Amino acid sequence: MAQKIALCGLDCGVCPAFIAHATGDLALQEKTAKEWTEIYHFACTPEMIDCVGCTETEGAHIGHCGECAVRLCGLSKGMAHCGDCPDYDICPTLAGFLAQVPTAKANLEEIRSGRMRS
């Protein structure tokens, strides 16, 4: 799938929940539910593997994405992604997340530099 950069910089286009939603792939939902049950230690069902992507305001959002503080802030400010925000370099919420997820930070930095379209 093509890149679909979330507000935080993650690529929704590689997320199994987004792919399963976009393609209707029931086998991927089942496989991912089993994997996520083991990885995240909670009873994940195939029905939970369903997401329209975090930049969308309507539709299914997987787990934490529906209540994510970074997402909610970006949506409230009308941002396409946090790389557009004037507070990008000083936001403690985003900084904490990006410290844990370097790929998201790299995506936002590429967008900010103009090397990647948002």
Residue 78 contacts residue 72 (beta carbons within 8 Å): no
Which tokens in the block code for residue 31? 């496989």
Residues in a beta bridge with 115? none
**Mean pLDDT per 10-residue segment, the chain (118 residues):** 87 94 96 94 93 92 87 94 94 93 94 75
What is the SS3 assignment for the chain?
Answer: CCCCECCCCCEHHHCHHHHHHHHCCHHHHHHHHHHHHHHHCCCCCHHHCCCCCCCCCCCCCCHHHHHCHHHHHHHHCCCCCHHHCCCCCCCHHHHHHHHHCHHHHHHHHHHHHCCCCC
Judge if pTM exceeds 0.75.
yes
